[in-house]
Structure 1
Amino acid sequence: MNILVYGAGVQGSYLAHVLIRGGHDVTVLARGERAEVLEDKGIVIRHYLQRKTTSDRVRVIRSLEAGDVYDLIFVVMKYSDFEAVLPVLASNNSRHIVLIGNNMETYAMQDYLSKNGRSPKQVAFGFQTTAGTRTDEHVICIRSGHGQMVIGGLDGTIPFRPLLEQAFMGTKYKLNENDQIDAWLKNHMVLVVPLNMVILFHQFQMKQVVRDDKRLRQLVAAMGEGFQVLESLGYPLLPAKQASWIIGYPNVIRRALKIFFSLPVSRLIDGTSVELNALNNTFAEWRAMSNVPTPNWDALEAEWQAGIS
């Protein structure tokens, strides 16, 4: 298969690695120094938990032209970058697109591609459950097993599911289809935003995060408030046990977070203020529509924004 991975950060690099090892003709879209490194050294990944390094040669492009046609395009972007990429995807002739990453506006994005697409578009949304960071020469990837993606379509089953199955045939990468992917992504956002507010406030100094008991308590409480906002607006809480534990056992969750932030692996978490701000701004509109009070979320938001201003 002829596959494009649009984006060459940690997530895109690992996805491209899997697809290359699956025997496909993989192209990566990257720019600037990252494109030069990929052309020179290929995709070099340090698999943190597996204690190994892999290297894969890959074709690199710097722009997606209208006439370029791929069987599948995986767009691996931060939420704040999707808006700029959508017109490029719409003007391209390829039909099957998977938008991967934190996403608060799935229906609006699908609608845009449907109305403005040069060719008929079929769109799925996903989230790859890997993490890590990128250095000048390689990426450090944290994953369990061989990697997996929560994926789904907005109108029932994914219409190009056979293509996806073909793409990952021969790999041990898992596709976990979720028929409520929009709600799943919104629930994930409720975890990501307050968590990253605290991390970024401490500038990734995890020892400081562990000692900041006040903000850890606010963090867990803010997550609970976020779930209550979603529920008040009619969204199911997914996974249900995740929300019930955070709301019902905040002290247990706080202690678990302290243990995680004490581990060396936590220092490899990568996040940006730009994406966090975009996610939080969208959720602020939902909080305004809801009658649910969010004092802990509000307090973290005010302190974090004051710290970056």
Structure 2
Amino acid sequence: MLGAGVIGSIFAHALVNGGHQVTAIARGRRLADIQKHGLRLQTWGSKAVSSVDIDAVDHLEVETAFDVLLVCVQSHQIEAVLPVLKGSRARCIVFCCNQFGNTAEIAHQVGRDRTLWLFPAALGEIVDGVVHARVLSSLESAIQVNTLGVADSAANHHIETVRQLWKSIGLPLAVTKHLDAWLQTHTAFMLPIMWSGLSAPNRKAFKPDLTLSRHVSAAVKELLALVRGSDAGLAPWNMKVVSLTPDWMIALVYRLTMATPMGVNALYGHVEHGRDEMVHMLAAIRKEAASQNRELVALERLISTV
């Protein structure tokens, strides 16, 4: 497990509980905390903290032929870890992170026959060393589900390996044949929502009004149209539905969601720790817009507002 942030910790915790041997690769304070206290996780809505013992080290042993290497970093950190991934003898490398384009190039660098992408249906934040986690259940799969795909069909033979791994820990998993469409659509939908969190200095001060809700809605529709016009296209089906939904309805759902503690905590769990990734994804979206000769009027208006 390369990366022991929120996503890496959630998956590592589930894998250890499922009886798998897991090595977590972390740095600094996070590494020291895991080595001292174990991997601690608290599910949203519960007061109980579950701790599991796990091997934690500060670097990837490239000579070790891991069955599966999960790369749980933010998108702007991928380039920095590519050199060590290239040298790793891991049989299967699974990126568990956001990405807007360039998946085929990454697979080419790391190994097109062993590179997959798994988008996690989980979120949370780390507070005082404890991961406060929210993992979407099977009943919530219409909203989002752990989604696996390959950038190159040469890696198809690893799909069943990862599918069985996820089945063994009781987490739902869908497989997509449209990886880039799925990843780009997710970014298009989420980036305006994440950016709206910058409108307040912290979650306690965050109070989305009607104007902000309208700006978010317009930006979401604009970016979904951008992805629909790209080589990737829109996926999955529920995002195609959103792209056809009236702006006022998206604004209403956004405002109602952000009126709940869960909605606000989910938003700021990422905003407070993922601003660099947001900027990175924004640059990728602007690049795609330039290639289509499109102006991102609604998105730029949202950015200037917050």
Q: Residue in 2 aligned with 1:203?
A: 201
SS, match of residue 62 in structure 2: coil
Q: Residue in 2 aligned with 1:222?
A: 219
Q: Residue in 2 aligned with 1:128?
A: 120
Matched, 1:238 2:235: yes
Out of 135-144 and 227-236, give the one that drifted further.
227-236
Matched, 1:143 2:131: no
Note if contact 1:44-1:56 (Cα within 8 Å) is conserved in structure 2.
Answer: yes
Q: Percent identity?
A: 21
CA distance in 2, matches of 1:26, 1:55: 14
Q: Residue in 1 aligned with 2:285?
A: 283
Matched, 1:250 2:247: yes
Note if contact 2:24-2:57 (Cα within 8 Å) is conserved in structure 1.
Answer: yes
Q: Residue in 2 aligned with 1:296?
A: 298
2:125 partner amino acid: T
CA distance in 2, matches of 1:283, 1:59: 38
Note if contact 1:197-1:301 (Cα within 8 Å) is conserved in structure 2.
Answer: yes
1:187 partner amino acid: T
SS, match of residue 23 in structure 2: strand
Deviation (angstroms), 1:42: 0.8
Q: Residue in 2 aligned with 1:267?
A: 264
1:289 partner amino acid: S
CA distance in 2, matches of 1:23, 1:188: 32
Output the TM-score relative to the length of structure 1: 0.88
Q: How many residues align?
A: 294
* Gap change, CA 1:149 and 1:13, over 3 Å in 2: same
Q: Residue in 1 aligned with 2:2?
A: 6
CA distance in 1, matches of 2:304, 2:181: 26
Q: Residue in 1 aligned with 2:166?
A: 168
CA distance in 2, matches of 1:169, 1:234: 32
Note if contact 1:207-1:262 (Cα within 8 Å) is conserved in structure 2.
Answer: no
1:133 partner amino acid: E
1:220 partner amino acid: S
2:23 partner amino acid: T
Out of 262-271 and 81-90, give the one that drifted further.
262-271
Gaps of 5+ in 1: 115-119, 305-309
* Gap change, CA 1:303 and 1:259, over 3 Å in 2: closer
CA distance in 1, matches of 2:200, 2:47: 28
2:70 partner amino acid: F
Deviation (angstroms), 1:209: 3.6
Note if contact 1:153-1:181 (Cα within 8 Å) is conserved in structure 2.
Answer: yes
Deviation (angstroms), 1:207: 5.5
Matched, 1:23 2:19: yes
CA distance in 1, matches of 2:137, 2:46: 9
CA distance in 2, matches of 1:189, 1:79: 11
CA distance in 2, matches of 1:246, 1:233: 14
SS, match of residue 234 in structure 2: coil
